[in-house]
Amino acid sequence: MASITKRGDSWRAQVRRRGHKPLSKTFSKKALAESWAREMEQQIEAGAFHAEDPDFGVLVQRYIDEILPIKPMQRSHVATMRNLKRRVAGTKVSEVTAHWMLSVAQGMDCAPSTRAQYFVFLAMVLRTADTFWGTRPDWEEWKRGRHMLIQYGLLGRSQERNRRVTPDEVELILDCMQSSLPMEELTHFALDSAVRLGELVRVTWGDLDETKKTLTIRDRKHPRMKMGNDQTIPLLGRSFDIVQAQVRQKKQIFPYDAGSISAAFHRAVVRAGLVDLRWHDLRHEAICRLFEAGYEIQEVALVSGHRDWNMLRRYTHLKPESLHRGTVD
Residues with catalytic annotation? 196, 226, 280, 283, 306, 315
Residue 116 to residue 150: CA distance in whole angstroms = 9
- 3-class DSSP assignment, residue 138: coil
Residue 221 to residue 42: CA distance in whole angstroms = 50
For the chain, the 3-state helix, strand and coil shares in percent, each to the nearest 5, are 50, 10, 40
Q: Which residues contact 126 (CB under 8 A, 6 or more apart)?
A: 59, 93, 96, 135, 137, 142
Residue 260 to residue 150: CA distance in whole angstroms = 36
DSSP code at position 253: S
Q: Which residues contact 249 (CB under 8 A, 6 or more apart)?
A: 255
DSSP run (H or E) holding 113: helix 112-132
Q: Which residues contact 26 (CB under 8 A, 6 or more apart)?
A: 7, 10, 11, 12, 13, 33, 140
Residue 185 to residue 172: CA distance in whole angstroms = 15
